[in-house]
Amino acid sequence: MDATVGRIEEATYRYGIAMAPVAIRFDLRGASAGIYRSDGRERLIRYNVPIFARYFGANLEETVPHEVAHYVVDVVFGRRGVRPHGVQWRDVMSDFGVPATVRHDWNLDGLGVRRQRRFTYRCGCGVHEVTAVRHNRIRDRGAVYRCRRCRAPLEPT
Ligand SMILES: [Zn+2]
Ligand SMILES: [Zn+2]
């Protein structure tokens, strides 16, 4: 996607670093417009086409830099001691000139998305959206869910 490549080029120029390759896929479904994952071998940005189709301008201006900022932070800082939407990520968003928005109140009716509240958790390799049911199990009953990729337990952000 040109917008993603453009943001990556912008970051490359701004920070003067060589950006590692990142795969871009358009297969994300559900309530998130985009997601960034890295398992140490592969870096991957996934976009949600139905959500982009409904809110194209907003996704181009916000979701694309949001996910590219995750990627930039991963390349520049790695994962250790870095919170997903922490100061490093917010700094990159600020450099991009984009509000550091994490949640949108978009109307997803008709896109086959269940209107269940989601909670953001992190693992060793990225960010997970956890359902309210799981969130309550973790919080109230000490349930442990692990990332299928890095096997790290999910922790609240
Ligand atoms: Zn994010
Ligand atoms: Zn993980």
Q: How far apart (Å, rounded) are the C-alpha atoms in residues 52 and 50?
A: 5
| pLDDT value, residue 143 | 92
106 within domain boundaries: no
157 within domain boundaries: yes
| pLDDT value, residue 112 | 77
31 within domain boundaries: yes
Q: How far apart (Å, rounded) are the C-alpha atoms in residues 71 and 22?
A: 8
- Same-domain pairing of 9 and 80: yes
Q: Which residue has the tokens 């309530």?
A: 31
Determine the straight-line distance between the first and last CA of the chain, rounded to whole angstroms: 29
Section 95-123 average pLDDT: 84
For residue 70, the ligand closest to its alpha carbon is 1
Residue 43 CA to ligand 2 center (angstroms) comes to 12
- Same-domain pairing of 89 and 128: no
24 within domain boundaries: yes
Enclosing domain of residue 154:
116-157
- Same-domain pairing of 3 and 61: yes
- Same-domain pairing of 17 and 89: yes
Q: What is the pLDDT of residues 32-43, one digit of tens each?
A: 999 999 887 889
| pLDDT value, residue 16 | 87
- Same-domain pairing of 126 and 155: yes
pLDDT category of residue 8 using cuts at 50, 70 and 90: very high
- Same-domain pairing of 2 and 67: yes
Q: Which two tokens stand for residue 85?
A: 């939407």
| pLDDT value, residue 106 | 85
Number of domains comprising the chain: 2
pLDDT category of residue 102 using cuts at 50, 70 and 90: confident
- Same-domain pairing of 92 and 154: no
Residue 66 CA to ligand 1 center (angstroms) comes to 6
- Same-domain pairing of 5 and 77: yes
Q: How far apart (Å, rounded) are the C-alpha atoms in residues 84 and 61?
A: 19
Task: Identify any residues that bridge with 127 across adjacent strands, giving them in sequence order.
Answer: 122
Q: How far apart (Å, rounded) are the C-alpha atoms in residues 3 and 96?
A: 12
pLDDT category of residue 64 using cuts at 50, 70 and 90: very high
pTM of the model: 0.72
Positive or negative, the Cα torsion across 49, 51, 57, 61? negative
Annotated catalytic residues are: 67
Residue 81 CA to ligand 2 center (angstroms) comes to 15
Q: Does the pLDDT value for residue 92 go beyond 70? A: yes
- The distance of Cα 27 from the centroid of its chain, to the nearest Å, equals 14
List phi, psi (to 5°) of 150.
-100, -5
pLDDT category of residue 87 using cuts at 50, 70 and 90: very high
